[in-house]
Amino acid sequence: MERTRFPVLSFDEIKESLTFSARSLMMNKLRTFLSLLGVTIGIFAIIMVFSLVDSMEKSIRDTVSTLGDDLVFIEKWPMTIEEGETEYPWWKYWQRPEPSAKDLKALMERLRTAQDGTFKTEFQADLSYGNSSVEMGYVMLCDQAFERVYPLKIDKGRFFTQGEDQMGRAVCIIGADVNESLFGSLDALGRVIKVKGRKAEVIGVMQREGESMLGDNMDDVIIVPLNFGRQLVDITQTQNTLMIKAKTGISNMELKDDITGVLRNIHRLRPSEEKDFALNEMSIVANLLDGIFGFFKTVALVIGMFSILVGGFGIANIMFVSVRERTSIIGIQKALGAKQAFILLQFLFESVLLSLIGGIIALLIIYLLTLILTNAFGFDIFLGLNNVMIGIGITLVIGVIAGIVPAYRASRLDPVEAIRST
């Protein structure tokens, strides 16, 4: 059986073949446009969702990195279902005691793996300065160690000292939004605001940081020393958190094991009794969201692939029509000595160009949308190089698959029969 041979083409022949393909697309603008739609919609669906998910993941990772991956949060409520549970037994967690400043003191005296620790709690209260006010602002109570544990960024002024904390000085550090609402263009430092009717001097203003994907936002918070805050609220009735920072070289798992043993002893829990506290990490939330993001990517891929398949069939159909319309031209080209590879590349290039143009249009639309959404919502959405390469790769594959059969058939046409078809 005789094998079909495709002689090697010269650079000029390849260039000419590509020129024929581009010219054909230009001559049939409407058909070209309609053929692009399926591929464009498919690539847009896949890459847009991929870009959104990647941007969210980056924001989460940056937040976790900023807070530090060496922090363990001791709280009443776990972030997820705890080990050994098949559901979230909120009624059981409800009965747990709130972590206390007394717990923190005992922990820091006994823990061998902890570098530092801090107590914090929050409540809502009205804030005011002159005629300006913030209704139900977030007031955070913490000790002086909070500055060493949490990556707090002070724009103006300072954090309160240990002496000010111990004496219960009426001072506060305010977030950027609180500063803007109460003082506008005025310098807040040294001014006295009212927190739940009690006076407090502003000694610091935090940098604007914006809300993260994990919901952390210090812009609408004011921070007051713990012992001053005790005059404002009963901390036994608030949701409290102990933040424990691991020593250098100590993993969070080692720290959690140490905390568990010490805190069970502090709470006088028998070995048979369940623990009455939760140990949370920021990575728990990040890992949970990873699963959600993975699901969204899968859904986008499925929807997008259906659109791309429709677009691919559309391109293949158009290529068969194009071969039929240009049968006589193919016959003339072959009669003049055109190689099979030259004919094949004409149509294969045309198919790939169709698909590639559709993909590029989709990527350009996505890029413009990322700019618009970033400026509109203040959330950094980006079109990563990896997603660009994925988009281009998919379009090239679709172009080759959709065009290979029509191109091969065109290359095998008999020149005499092709010319007679006119």
Q: Which residue has the tokens 């594959």?
A: 397
Confidence check: pLDDT of 4 > 60: no
Residue 2 located in a structural domain:
no
Q: Is 261 in the same domain as 383?
A: no
Report, in this order, helix, strand and coil percent for the chain, each rounded to 5. 55, 15, 30
- Is residue 321 classed as helix, strand or coil in its secondary structure? helix
Burial category of 323 from C-beta neighbours within 10 Å (exposed 0-12, middle 13-18, buried 19 and up): buried
Please check whether residue 5 lies inside any domain of the structure: no
pLDDT above 60: residue 6:
no
**Residues 118 and 229 both lie in one domain:** yes
Q: Are residues 78 and 128 in the same domain?
A: yes
> Residue 246 carries which side chain, given as an amino acid letter?
A
Backbone angles phi and psi of 246, in degrees to 5: -75, 150
pLDDT at 11: 62
- Which ranges constitute the DSSP H helices of 201-276? 226-229, 252-266
User: Residue 2: its pLDDT value, please?
Assistant: 47
191-240: pLDDT as tens digits: 999 999 899 999 999 999 776 655 567 899 999 999 999 999 999 889 99
Whether residues 79 and 221 fall in one domain: yes
Read off the pLDDT band of 322 (50, 70, 90).
confident
Q: Verify that 40 and 127 share a domain, yes or no.
A: no
Question: Residue 1 pLDDT more than 60?
Answer: no
Q: Indicate whether 227 and 318 sit together in one domain.
A: no
* H or E segment and range at residue 13: helix 11-27
Q: Which residue has the tokens 């976790």?
A: 64
Residue 16 has pLDDT above 60, yes or no: yes
Last residue within a domain, chosen from 249, 280, 311: 280
Q: Which domain holds residue 166?
A: 71-280
What does the angle CA 413 – CA 418 – CA 422 come to, to the nearest 5 degrees?
155
DSSP H helices, 168-251, are 176-183, 226-229
Q: Which of 1-5, 71-75, 110-114, 348-352 has the lowest mean pLDDT?
A: 1-5
Q: Which of 79-93, 173-187, 283-297, 391-405 has the lowest mean pLDDT?
A: 283-297
Taking residues 103-131, report their average pLDDT: 94
236 with 309, same domain: the answer is no
Whether residues 53 and 79 share a domain: the answer is no
For residue 126, give the H/E element and its range: strand 114-129
Domain count, the chain: 2
pTM higher than 0.85 = no
Residues 275, 391, single domain; the answer is no
Position 277 pLDDT exceeds 80: yes
